[in-house]
Structure 1
Amino acid sequence: MTRRVLVVTHGGRPRAVAALSEAVRELEASGFEVALHDDDLAETFGDHMATTRLREGVAESEVVMVLGGDGTILRAAELTHGTQVPLLGVNLGHVGFLAESEREDLRAAVQRLAEHDYVVEERTVAAVQVHRPGEDEPLTGWALNEATIEKAERQRMLEVGIEVDRRPLSSFGCDGVILSTATGSTAHAFSAGGPVMWPDVDGVLLVPLSAHALFARPLVIGPRSAYRITVLERSPVPAVLTCDGRRSIDLPVGSTVEVRRGEQPLRFARLSPAPFTDRLVSKFSLPVVGWREAADDAAAARARLTALTDAATDDGAAPEAPHPRGQSPHDAKAV
């Protein structure tokens, strides 16, 4: 039986074109039938026919391989959402939080794929429902990372009301509100001051943007709860809802947006069993040794140097400087 891989990339970038050439060569050498997807039509919010058009040929694929950064992976997610086909991301971007492999490991990733040496992980998405004044039927959408409600005009603040499970919680003026999944907590929500959520946290995060309020802290609800955000009648400006930075819809004054955990998760092919902690440290280049511990190490090094100096003075020999933690004498001299 022929195994098929659908490859998605950003065709306008030289690095992506080079990676695509190598990926096709390696996949075909491993016995895969390769199909390419280069249609950049974004799924329109609430347009399910667009979804059908985009997904042609996806169901026949074992995996959708994505060559690019997180933006390209979010684009490819429009192809696979609602199907059983997993995404395998090869990072060509900067951070690449959603990617499973780096560019230099492309050949190894194909080999692992050929040997069925991967596991499939499911990520929760956010289900989004929009009610606009004068429209009988709501429009529905979804987001892997986040649904962001922002003011449509720069000059004035947006006035919103926040409810949880149809019970009023707060209202305030702001630049907007981010409603994020655990997957998206390291994206827009993180830059706005929200917490990092581990991928298996089955909740939805709300982060206000520049809110003029006493209570405007990030908030996380569980899988059976739902947010309801209303663009209040007193709001001087309308809003715009954007899902994953790709699918947008205007929100006139009086509109409401309901966001909850989606019923259809998105699937990712995973090659590494490393815990999320390791991914977080690697992608954000976190200093595992904190400044207090580093200060203690420096103080201890100075104390050792003083002791060596005193001993050398007594013996008449030159002291050898102590080396920082994890550094060899050769490394210290090279520096």
Structure 2
Amino acid sequence: MTVGIIANTQKEGARIALDRLMGVLSVRRIASLLEREAASLCGVPGGMEGPDLAAASDVIAVLGGDGTMLNAVAKLGPTDKPVAGINIGTLGFLTSCTDDEVEVFADALLSEKYTTSRRTLLTATVRSVDGTVKEFRALNEVVLARGQTGRLVSLSAYVDGDLLNSYRADGLIVATPTGSTAYSLSAGGPLISPAAAVFVITPICPHTLSQRSLIIGDHVTVELAPENADEAPMLCTVDGRDCVNIQHGDRIEVRKAEHALNLLRLPGHSFYEALRQKLNWRGG
């Protein structure tokens, strides 16, 4: 078995966690491959680009947190390989275990006692009025929001070409079930099980309180567009990472990506456990 490793090199404790993971894998005769930045952190020459790492690995381990996982999705590109998040610190929504549990992780790989949770990805296509087309991939959400103005902006959402609504708000979020625990939740959106085949459209601080989140099937295409030229440029962000200025006349098409993320889950760790822990749920 070969494990490809991506690490957040800026996170405190990353080098210690990386050395420990590689040591645990080596003892069990599991080969390790390092992504370029992880190799640099270890002082190892070379290192692989994300797509090459995914192709050469049986499992990919992502050392960091939920944000590192979002970046890893972009680095790896389309892949069916199981991806395990190993959080440096407390357990996250997207991580399989913490850096204190790497021995459990390695043993689960050898015994094949793990499952995968298939997570929907989004493809965001930005079509500019000048004819330029840019495409991005997201695990959590695509957002169209006001730019440098401090005022509310006017924007529209369409579902399969039909107008859903014209909003006066700080922005709009189109999120996957995975992304329902992120920005959409902070904006008042609902929690959604990762297995649900849906998107959620959530307005950010809408002027009219009756404008609420809407859950729709993930077989549709959602289109977002600014309405007023004097409010441009707006800002499109993809998983809080890729940012594009959006001018009046530009369009953002959001649809379900052809590939999904196979998130590795260890026994005893589930989405519902993460909800209880992260949201501090308690019984009566």
Q: Check whether TM > 0.5.
A: yes
Name the structure with the higher strand share. Answer: 2
SS of the equivalent of 2:208 reads coil
Deviation sequence 1:178-212 (CA, Å, 0-9, x none)? 11100010011111110000000111111111122
Deviation sequence 1:265-314 (CA, Å, 0-9, x none)? 1111221265533331123221222xxxxxxxxxxxxxxxxxxxxxxxxx
SS of the equivalent of 1:76 reads helix
Taking a change above 3 Å as real, the CA distance of residues 275 and 89 of structure 1, as seen in their structure-2 partners, is closer
What letter matches 1:4 in structure 2? T
Per the TM alignment, residue 214 of structure 1 is displaced from its structure 2 partner at its CA by 5.4
TM-score, normalised on structure 1?
0.77
- 1:272-283 maps to which residues of 2 (within 5 A)? 272=267, 276-283=271-278
Per the TM alignment, residue 24 of structure 1 is displaced from its structure 2 partner at its CA by 0.6
Give the aligned partner of residue 22 of structure 1: 20
Q: Does 1:219 align with 2:214?
A: yes
Q: Percent identity?
A: 28
Q: Structure 2 CA distance, aligned partners of 1:274 and 1:114?
A: 18
Say whether the 8 Å CA contact 1:158–1:235 is kept in structure 2.
no
| Worse-superposed segment, 200-209 or 280-289 | 280-289
Deviation sequence 1:20-70 (CA, Å, 0-9, x none)? 111010111111221222439xxxxxxxxxxx9542232010111111110
Q: Does 1:103 align with 2:99?
A: yes
* Residue 176 (structure 1) aligned to one of 171, 178, 181: 171
- 1:88-237 maps to which residues of 2 (within 5 A)? 88-94=84-90, 96-135=92-131, 138-213=133-208, 215-237=210-232
Structure with larger Rg: 1
What letter matches 1:190 in structure 2? L
Q: Structure 1 CA distance, aligned partners of 2:224 and 2:69?
A: 28
Give the aligned partner of residue 251 of structure 2: 256
Taking a change above 3 Å as real, the CA distance of residues 232 and 93 of structure 1, as seen in their structure-2 partners, is farther
Deviation sequence 1:75-120 (CA, Å, 0-9, x none)? 1112334112121111114551100112221111111112222222
What letter matches 1:184 in structure 2? G
TM-score, normalised on structure 2?
0.90
Per the TM alignment, residue 229 of structure 1 is displaced from its structure 2 partner at its CA by 1.0
* Residue 239 (structure 2) aligned to one of 231, 234, 244: 244
RMSD of aligned residue pairs (Cα, Å): 2.0
Count of residues in Structure 1 that have an aligned counterpart in Structure 2: 275
Structure 2 unmatched runs, 5+: 39-47
Q: Does 1:76 align with 2:72?
A: yes
Give the aligned partner of residue 260 of structure 2: 265
Say whether the 8 Å CA contact 2:51–2:77 is kept in structure 1.
no
> Bigger relative contact order, structure 1 or 2, given CA contacts below 8 A and separation 6+?
2
What letter matches 1:167 in structure 2? D
SS of the equivalent of 2:53 reads coil
Q: Structure 2 CA distance, aligned partners of 1:159 and 1:124?
A: 29
Q: Structure 2 CA distance, aligned partners of 1:218 and 1:207?
A: 4
Say whether the 8 Å CA contact 1:165–1:225 is kept in structure 2.
yes
SS of the equivalent of 2:168 reads strand
Give the aligned partner of residue 35 of structure 1: 33
What letter matches 1:207 in structure 2? T
Structure 1 unmatched runs, 5+: 41-51, 290-335
Q: Structure 2 CA distance, aligned partners of 1:121 and 1:277?
A: 13
Q: Structure 2 CA distance, aligned partners of 1:194 and 1:74?
A: 20
Say whether the 8 Å CA contact 2:35–2:53 is kept in structure 1.
no
Q: Structure 2 CA distance, aligned partners of 1:174 and 1:234?
A: 16
